Amino acid sequence: MRDFAVCAGLLSAAMDDQWMFDGPASERTASELGAVVALIEATMPEGAGRQVMVWRIDTKVAQRDLLHRARFQRDPRLARTAAARAEALAAECRAMIPS
């Protein structure tokens, strides 16, 4: 359940970033986010909603910061590193979604 909550936060941050910079990609990410939310709902025990939301929000904030560095970092090497890390994290989540 925690892994799904973390992925929801990661994908939510990615979707927000894509809305601003890559609209069509945001539609795919929105679909992936929906799948992860369904997995959360299927595995979440009663009363765990607050903890799940904390995991999602904390992860979204961290991923949003990483994406911000990827877009606006003045040092190109650091920007590339941040972008690669953000994409790797999102790819791990996408791999968890059943096809």
**Burial call 1-37: b when 16+ CB within 10 Å, e when fewer:** beebbbbbbbbbbbbbbbeeeeeeebeebeebbebbb
pTM value surpassing 0.85:
yes
| Per-residue model confidence as pLDDT tens digits over 70-89 | 999 999 999 999 999 999 99
| Per-residue model confidence as pLDDT tens digits over 39-58 | 999 999 999 999 999 999 99
**What mean pLDDT do residues 53-72 have?**
97
| pLDDT score for 48 | 96
Pull the structure tokens for residue 50.
């607050």
